[in-house]
Structure 1
Amino acid sequence: MVKLQLMRESLHNRNLLPVTAALLAGLVLPAAGCSSPATPGAGSPGQAAPSAHSAQPLGWGPEQADADAAARAVAGMSLEQKAGQVLLASFSGLDVEAHAKTVERLHLAGSIVMGDNVPAAASGQVDTAAMRAATDRLQRAARADGRGWPGLIGVDQEGGLVARLRAPLTEWPAPMSYGAAGSDPLAADAGRALSAELAGVGFNVDFAPAADVTMGPADPTIGARSFSGSPDTAAAVGTAFSKGMLDAGVLPAAKHFPGHGSVSVNSHQGLPVQGASLDQLRARDLKPFQAAIDAGLPMVMTGHISVPALQPGVPASVSAASYAELRRMGFKGVAVTDAMNMGAITEQFPNDSSAPLALAAGADLILMPASVDTAHAAIVSAVRNGSLPAARLDEAARRVVTMQLWRGRSQPTRASAPGSGSALSEKVSQEAITVLSGPCKGPIVPASVRVTGGTEQDRARFAAAARQAGVGVGSGPVVALIGYGEGPVTADVAVALDAPWPLEKSAAPAKIALYGRSQEAFEALAAVLAGKAPAPGKLPVAVGAQGPGAGCT
């Protein structure tokens, strides 16, 4: 808990502390990770006692008291502090201290940790103690000018292909697994367990889940990161997963509004164009976002996707019409952009000119500008020259601070040990595994098989799981593993480890969609191959003539 006396003393030792002064007049909060809620103060000069109105919910998590305290805090900020409060920066390598000083100097809302920022132990696994020390340092940096709320310490941890933190944390299968399993409670349990392990190493934001509805093989970016090709399934499962994340005290962000699963260009490289009409979008791509909004989830990430039906040629992340549509849907929370260092943005908006443009359009939080110093300076300059209205910056900063205050006040961190979700991860794969062709009962393979395809690690994991299930490896029919980006195979058993579409043209009597390549996923596969477990999963997407819902009955 931040002590009131220490906060007062810090006022005499820093030049940029109107934020804390404002909070001392209203709401004092626990440090990040504290589970006890703070109570709005009632006795400060000029501060009215809290009323029943202060507990009024805002429709996205926080209450009116949080918004009131945020308004007081932002009113006491300098322009430079406000500009920092709407920026979430990345950094290169393992020099956490250098980045922490940048966070302090620019008054940033927090930091995002990418793969190259994750410290490794001698074993090659994540050094969880060093990771926790790094996130703690970044948290202190975000609070260095006396802020009474947690900094945002974020990561991209979806499961499957997108996971910055690997072992000893639990490895989760691709999100499409939850669509194949078709269980909202299972998705909620997984979201909770995944996030609890993140909380254990100091994260309070996970830029997940992908709420995108995939259109199939022509989708080059999302694929198995999508829960389903069905808007209704993606909406239900994605919302359940997000609620589980919140239960663990980690803020989710539904992404990539208005939907990246039905465009054929990767926004990391260029600008995708979504040619659907608004009616078509509302019937498909926007459904999972509407479900997230209706559930009161706190963040939506806007994608770098041009939607001519809204604003031709302009990425949604910097499009006023796109933010207007998001707000029309009832969203009251924090609109965060996708990473602003991606090709779809940098090609069209050099030198981080996109940062003030996104804010002016309606964004509240700018994620990963190419240069956070340049972006910060651009925001300050835009306010001074009038191209970014000061009131719009204030509104964005208030939303971000409101979320952070609420997170610090009411979201207890339910941290768990690395690897504690392993059994649940295996259960997800057990419920998701789908047999597209081949026997639904009894053994699919004899006592010994050969394994091809995939990576060396995939084959080693398969061999270990097969031996555990009583199946030898070295001779016999061929089990071919199809990894991410790999094409069709010819084998006795074809197994898709990622999206199932390569199975359509694979020549194999037995075809299985696994949606994952963790050790736990391979154990689920081996049990099915040996006839020791059923394959209850159903296709969440069409694979050729086999529509969604295909699988063993």
Structure 2
Amino acid sequence: MSLAEKAGQVLLPSFPGLDHEAHARTIERLHLAGAIIMPDNVPGTPGGQVDTAALHAVTRRLHQAARADGRGWPGMVGVDQEGGLVARLRAPLTEWPAPMSYGAAGSRPLATDAGRALSAELTGLGFNVDFAPSADVTMGPADPTIGARSFSGNADTAATVGIAFSKGMLGAGVLPAAKHFPGHGSVSTDSHRALPVQPASLRELRAKDLKPFQAAVDAGLPMVMTGHIAVPALEPGVPASVSKASYRELRRMGFKGVAVTDALNMGAIAQQYPRDAAAPLALAAGADLLLMPASAETAHAAIVNAVRNGSLPEARLDEAATRVAAMQLWRGRSHPPRGAAPGNGSALSRKVSQQAITVLAGPCRGPLVPASVRVGGGTAQDRARFTAAARRAGVALGAGPLVTLIGYRGAPAAGDVAVALDAPWPLEKSAARTKVALYGRSQEAFDALLAVLAGKATAPGKLPVAVGRHAPGSGCR
């Protein structure tokens, strides 16, 4: 490969809007690895859903562009589809609850099945990379970024459930990426806005935050995403994504796969390294794939210039490009795509919520509400979904106790029944007599909720994190 080809092979950019053909031509001209699809790239129907036929045509064109220079391996078309808050593709694809649901359900087979089902719908639309799951161990309410994106506040649980989910993804032919090394769940700054600092010692990190990543390495997972987090114990003031010491630690753990950076257009990087100066620095530090530079053109030129002026050894670029190509060949040969139609996972999504739903206060058997209730809080869509689920469960709306829905980072609630739709921490200070953690706001999650409220199902989930005086593992017995 030429220098220009190798420089493109390590870049996976985003692009603005719906001009997919323009980006396909950029892939061809700069020899890019492919593209990541963001919400503004997704064609829609007049009814506000994803136009799946048009989206599949887009991914086909991007794959075609990635192989236009004759390379012998497929390109990468990726997306961020974790479930819960981070899901770039909505209906008619299955809507999945927050990843914390799997920690609450405590079932590795269920996590594997869900990872496979979620990914099969992506495969059916032409995606072969999903930048999930979050292997971060959340520290609780002080964690502003990860929250319910984390499987658990327990490192061992986050590791085992994360590996199970990732193996399901691979079973559908989609590459997972364990993120955000060395752990974003224990810092109080959001790296989308500024640079977080992780003050823990290396020994402390290895005892907690690094555990899920070590498990990912031991399981042979193909890709780890490095976060924009400064770790003074490794390299003070330098984000892990551009830190040689951080990549050395990752390789010391035995990782042989592709190290991909978190998005290079995020505040923590862009403020410190403007005009894509981070691109060659990340490669020189040990990254193999650079996600979402601010400008593919600028990042490509910066890599080429860094090789020419000697600040980036060409052997390091060769190593990175080879790892990316090898991963794609390995995926195609060892994990062929197994696609499914959009929406195929709906019943499984409901099963996840049924297994995860956790009652922190209130009865564990029988109805939690009478035959009629009122509903407040949440969004208009949340209340509409609650209403539809109530109708199916035989619960009337308009009179009776108040059920208050608490959305993402919502405030504690009064009323008679408080339901946390995301992370469960607002339940701690909620004054309601009955407190329920749902970890999701899909229609399937609301159906599971109303079945429990009406006494037609029990709540088997256990808290995967501490909520005030409620220790992890709390819930109905």
Q: TM-score, normalised by structure 1?
A: 0.86
Aligned to 2:460: 536
Q: Give 2:101's match in structure 1, choosing from 177, 182, 185.
A: 177
Give the deviation of 1:412 after TM superposition: 1.1
Q: Give 1:464's match in structure 2, choosing from 388, 405, 430.
A: 388
Aligned to 1:384: 308
Give the deviation of 1:407 after TM superposition: 1.9
How do residues 190-269 of structure 1 correspond to structure 2 at under 5 angstroms? 190-269=114-193
Return the alpha-carbon distance in structure 2 between the equivalents of residues 351 and 456 of structure 1.
41
1:372 is the counterpart of 2:296: yes
Give the deviation of 1:133 after TM superposition: 0.3
Return the alpha-carbon distance in structure 2 between the equivalents of residues 490 and 505 of structure 1.
9
Task: Give the 3-state SS of the residue equivalent to 1:262 in structure 2.
Answer: coil
1:519 is the counterpart of 2:457: no
Aligned to 2:113: 189
Give the deviation of 1:408 after TM superposition: 2.3
How do residues 239-388 of structure 1 correspond to structure 2 at under 5 angstroms? 239-388=163-312
- Name the aligned partner's letter for residue 294 of structure 1: D
Runs of 4+ residues deviating >3 angstroms: none
Return the alpha-carbon distance in structure 1 between the equivalents of residues 4 and 90 of structure 2.
37
Return the alpha-carbon distance in structure 2 between the equivalents of residues 543 and 385 of structure 1.
54
Return the alpha-carbon distance in structure 1 between the equivalents of residues 367 and 248 of structure 2.
55
Aligned to 2:476: 552
Return the alpha-carbon distance in structure 2 between the equivalents of residues 139 and 474 of structure 1.
52
- Name the aligned partner's letter for residue 392 of structure 2: Q
- Name the aligned partner's letter for residue 78 of structure 2: G
Return the alpha-carbon distance in structure 2 between the equivalents of residues 474 and 233 of structure 1.
41
Return the alpha-carbon distance in structure 2 between the equivalents of residues 215 and 431 of structure 1.
23
Q: Deviations over 1:230-276 (max 9, x none)?
A: 00000000000000000000000000000000000000000000000
1:422 is the counterpart of 2:329: no
- Name the aligned partner's letter for residue 19 of structure 2: D
- Whether the aligned pair in 2 keeps the contact of 1:150 and 1:407 (CA below 8 Å) is no
- Whether the aligned pair in 1 keeps the contact of 2:173 and 2:332 (CA below 8 Å) is no
Task: Give the 3-state SS of the residue equivalent to 1:331 in structure 2.
Answer: coil
Aligned to 2:416: 492
Return the alpha-carbon distance in structure 1 between the equivalents of residues 397 and 327 of structure 2.
53
Return the alpha-carbon distance in structure 2 between the equivalents of residues 228 and 147 of structure 1.
41
Give the deviation of 1:421 after TM superposition: 0.2
Give the deviation of 1:147 after TM superposition: 1.2
- Name the aligned partner's letter for residue 288 of structure 2: D
Give the deviation of 1:550 after TM superposition: 0.2
Give the deviation of 1:474 after TM superposition: 1.0
Q: Give 1:479's match in structure 2, choosing from 403, 420, 440.
A: 403
Q: Give 1:451's match in structure 2, choosing from 375, 386, 391.
A: 375
When Rg is computed on C-alpha atoms for both structures, the one with the higher figure is: 1
Aligned to 2:50: 126
Task: Give the 3-state SS of the residue equivalent to 2:251 in structure 1.
Answer: helix
- Whether the aligned pair in 1 keeps the contact of 2:98 and 2:439 (CA below 8 Å) is yes
Return the alpha-carbon distance in structure 2 between the equivalents of residues 142 and 510 of structure 1.
54
Q: TM-score, normalised by structure 2?
A: 1.00
Task: Give the 3-state SS of the residue equivalent to 1:144 in structure 2.
Answer: coil
1:501 is the counterpart of 2:445: no
- Name the aligned partner's letter for residue 190 of structure 1: A
Aligned to 2:21: 97
Aligned to 1:29: none
How do residues 59-208 of structure 1 correspond to structure 2 at under 5 angstroms? 77-208=1-132
Return the alpha-carbon distance in structure 2 between the equivalents of residues 152 and 250 of structure 1.
10
Task: Give the 3-state SS of the residue equivalent to 1:154 in structure 2.
Answer: strand
Aligned to 1:406: 330
Q: Deviations over 1:313-369 (max 9, x none)?
A: 000000000000000000000000000000000000011010000000000000000
- Name the aligned partner's letter for residue 329 of structure 2: L
Return the alpha-carbon distance in structure 2 between the equivalents of residues 333 and 247 of structure 1.
18
Give the deviation of 1:415 after TM superposition: 0.1
Return the alpha-carbon distance in structure 2 between the equivalents of residues 148 and 361 of structure 1.
27
> For the aligned residues, what is the CA RMSD?
0.5
Give the deviation of 1:409 after TM superposition: 2.4
How do residues 5-44 of structure 1 correspond to structure 2 at under 5 angstroms? none
Task: Give the 3-state SS of the residue equivalent to 1:417 in structure 2.
Answer: coil
Task: Give the 3-state SS of the residue equivalent to 1:476 in structure 2.
Answer: strand
- Name the aligned partner's letter for residue 181 of structure 1: A
